[in-house]
Each structure stands twice: as structure tokens, then as C-alpha cells.
């Protein structure tokens, strides 16, 4: 419940940033920002799953081709009360997995060949439970909307830089306020949007971990899988796009403590600590 409330508040903040930087250009700018937001969210809602599956060269598999995956998913979907998603295998040795789709009726789950070779059945069950939880909680839609809204802010900021170069922007009646607003639009707003987007993604990862442990009845499988995925993904990195990194169960990029602010995932150790009931903070 706390994670859901936090997500709503953060999405509201992103919307507020869009409206603020749109208002910097007056009524016309505000209208453009709103129209762009609607169009981009519509496209993200309906087409993000197809784009992601194609990007990772995911191949659909039938029940007889992947009986273990289907058997585990039958169990998890029955426990979660959602339809069976489409099942894909990604031809990649880096161990990872993701779920996509705008709702439980149009969902897909994809697992890399590396993950299937690395993980035992209990660990694969934990990973698939995590992905099924994303589907049930509609995290794919939430993350896609957050990413799209952050992208709009980046676009408007770029337009602001372009307009400032040619002396455009708000009327010159209020030079001080206009200059300050321009500075916020160009520099502060994009950074704030990125931080909020990453925060939303990390919040949803914690929620999916907790939901997975509840569905399976134990956190052990997922905790063990996360540790293995962390170790092996560093040795066999995945060629992933930053635009879809938030979808993967294990963040494909490495970084230090400062970069963790801009990460779509909490640290693996924090995730495992929360799963196993030890004190940890996002």
C-alpha cells in the first residue's frame, strides 16, 4: 500500500513538472505539453510490449517447447488470479528476464537462455513470480508512463534550450522570472524527472519482490536467484537499451553509489535484505 501511494505521488510530481515547463511558454506551450503527453502515453500503452520483445529478439515458445516454464506459470497464474501470459525465450547467455504488456490480458513473459541454464526450478519459480507480480500490479504500464513523461520533459527542455538560443520563450515583461524559469526548465527539470522516474521503478521492483514471495509462499527462491543473477550478469553483460532497462529483473548496467540514484533497480543486496526480512531502506 505504501509503495502504491508513493508511486501515485511520484507520477503526480512528473505531471506537475510537465505542466510547469509547459506554462513557461504560456498557454500555447502548456497545450503542446499536454497534447504530447497524451500522444506519447497512448503509443507507450499500446506498443511498448511489441517494441521490447523485438528489441531483445525474443522468440515465442509453445507449451511442448518449454514445458517447465508453462508448468510453473500455470501454478503462479492460478495463485495470482490472472490469465496465462505469452511465453518467450531470449537467445542471450546473460541471465535475465522481463514481463511486458499493457494489462494481464495482453501480457508476455520473456526469459533468457542464460537464466534457464543458470537457475534451478525454485529460483526460476521466484523469478517468474516476480514477473507475474509486475503483470498483476500493472507495473509495466506504470513504468512505461513514467518513462514517457520523463521523455516529454527532456524534449521540452531541449526545445527550451533551442528557443533560448534564438531569444524565444516567455514575454520579456518579466526578465528575472523568465530567466529563472528558463534555467529551471533547461537544467533542473530534466534531472528531477529522471530521478523521479528511477525512484518509481525502484519502488515497483520492491513491490514485485514482495508480491512474488507472497505468491510462492517463500522468499528463498527469488533471493537465491537474485544473487546468482547479480554475479553472472556482471560476468556476462546483456546488451540492453537504457529505455527498456527498467523492465528487466536484474539491472544490466553497473554503477557506484552515486549512480544508484539514477538506477532503475535497487541494489541487489537491499532487495535480498528486504525479501529475507532484514532492515533495509530504498
219: number of Cβ within 10 Å: 20
184: number of Cβ within 10 Å: 17
Residues in Cβ contact with 252 at an 8 Å cutoff, skipping those fewer than 6 apart: 94, 96, 233, 237, 238, 240, 245
Asked if 131 is an active-site residue, the reply is: yes
- Of these residues, 123, 131, 205, 214, which one is catalytic? 131
188: number of Cβ within 10 Å: 13
Residues 14, 146 contacting (CB under 8 angstroms)? yes
Q: State how beta strands 108-112 and 86-90 pair.
A: parallel
What are the angstrom distances between the C-alpha of 46 and each of 42, 71, 102?
A: 6, 28, 7
Residues 36, 152 contacting (CB under 8 angstroms)? yes
End-to-end, the C-alpha distance of the chain in Å comes to 16
Residues annotated catalytic, as ranges:
131
Amino acid at each position: 500500500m505504501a509503495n502504491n501511494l508513493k508511486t501515485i505521488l511520484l507520477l503526480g510530481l512528473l505531471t506537475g513538472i510537465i505542466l510547469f515547463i509547459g506554462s513557461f511558454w504560456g498557454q500555447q506551450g502548456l497545450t503542446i505539453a499536454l497534447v504530447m503527453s497524451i500522444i506519447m502515453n497512448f503509443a507507450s500503452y499500446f506498443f511498448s510490449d511489441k517494441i521490447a520483445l523485438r528489441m531483445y529478439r525474443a522468440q515465442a515458445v509453445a507449451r511442448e517447447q518449454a514445458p517447465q516454464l508453462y508448468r510453473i506459470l500455470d501454478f503462479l497464474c492460478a495463485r495470482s488470479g490472472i490469465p496465462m501470459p505469452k511465453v518467450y525465450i531470449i537467445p542471450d547467455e546473460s541471465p535475465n528476464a522481463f514481463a511486458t504488456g499493457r494489462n494481464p490480458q495482453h501480457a508476455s513473459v520473456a526469459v533468457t537462455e542464460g537464466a534457464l541454464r543458470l537457475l534451478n526450478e525454485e529460483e526460476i519459480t521466484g523469478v517468474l513470480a516476480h514477473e507475474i507480480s509486475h503483470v498483476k500490479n500493472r507495473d509495466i504500464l506504470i513504468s512505461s508512463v513514467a518513462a514517457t513523461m520523463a521523455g516529454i520533459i527532456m524534449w521540452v527542455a531541449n526545445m527550451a534550450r533551442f528557443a533560448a538560443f534564438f531569444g524565444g520563450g516567455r514575454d520579456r515583461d518579466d526578465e528575472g522570472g523568465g530567466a529563472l524559469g528558463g534555467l529551471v526548465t533547461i537544467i533542473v527539470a530534466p534531472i528531477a524527472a529522471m530521478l523521479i522516474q528511477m525512484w518509481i521503478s525502484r519502488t515497483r521492483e520492491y513491490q514485485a519482490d514482495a508480491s512474488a514471495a507472497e505468491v510462492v509462499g517463500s522468499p528463498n527462491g527469488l533471493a537465491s536467484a537474485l544473487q546468482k543473477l547479480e554475479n553472472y550478469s556482471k560476468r556476462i553483460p546483456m546488451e540492453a537499451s537504457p529505455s527498456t532497462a527498467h523492465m528487466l529483473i536484474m539491472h544490466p548496467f553497473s554503477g557506484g553509489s552515486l549512480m544508484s540514484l539514477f538506477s532503475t533497480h535497487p541494489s541487489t543486496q537491499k532487495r535480498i535484505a528486504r525479501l529475507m526480512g532484514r532492515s533495509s531502506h530504498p
